[in-house]
Amino acid sequence: MSERIATVTRDTQETQITVTVNLDGEGRLACETGVPFLDHMLDQVARHGLIDLDIKAVGDLHIDDHHTVEDLGITLGQAFAQAIGDKRGIRRYGHAYVPLDEALSRVVIDFSGRPGLFMDVEFTRAAIGRLDTQLFWEFFQGFVNHARVTLHIDNLKGFNAHHQAETIFKAFGRALRMAVEPDPRMAGQMPSTKGCL
């Protein structure tokens, strides 16, 4: 399998974002988004997904975090779509349950080519630090639409909002890792009876 690395830049009147993703990395993150809790969550994705992420984002944070978080999801999704290529030989599906103390989340992903986000999470706080918890949905919606994946996110337990979010992002990283891994039994075949994804 050739190098699965992609760099994507999104430049709008609201944000300027560049994302480089290496699907076969070591879990390294270089990140400057201006949104500290988001940086912490992206570190979980990189570390637990064994995906290298290099992210530079400048956004209109003087207004709020919305455009930066949403556009980062979009740009990350585009980078994944480019890096994954035609999807031959990958496992395609990934899933993970991750606990953190009282919190437990499940994430299931399918690199199906069909965007769909199904997120059942009731955060116990409206914000973590200064980050509005509603923006997690915007991040994942941007990712799903542009990576063209089906993504199910369920927070099954938890009363600490930080723990809820962290279990979600850790499970997202683990599910990504499983889904994008080369499957030696597939021997470069398309993981679909359709012959394409």
- pLDDT above 80 for 55: yes
Tell me the pTM: 0.97
For the chain, which residues make up each domain, given as ranges? 5-180
Average pLDDT on 63-92 reads: 97
Average pLDDT on 25-45 reads: 97
pLDDT of residue 133: 98
Average pLDDT on 98-110 reads: 98
The domain covering 5-180 belongs, at the CATH homologous superfamily level, to: Imidazole glycerol phosphate dehydratase; domain 1 (3.30.230.40)
> Tens digit of pLDDT for each residue in 168-182?
999 999 999 999 999
Altogether, the residues listed in the chain come to a count of 197
* 29's tokens: 């993150």
* 148's tokens: 């063209």
Model confidence band, residue 34 (pLDDT cutoffs 50, 70, 90): very high
pLDDT of residue 196: 86
> CA 111 to CA 115: how far, in whole Å?
9
* 181's tokens: 């891994």
- pLDDT above 90 for 188: no
* Distance (Å) of CA 84 to CA 24, 80, 184: 10, 6, 16
Average pLDDT on 111-131 reads: 97
Average pLDDT on 105-111 reads: 99
> Tens digit of pLDDT for each residue in 81-98?
999 999 999 999 999 999
Do residues 197 and 92 touch, judged by C-beta distance below 8 A?
A: yes
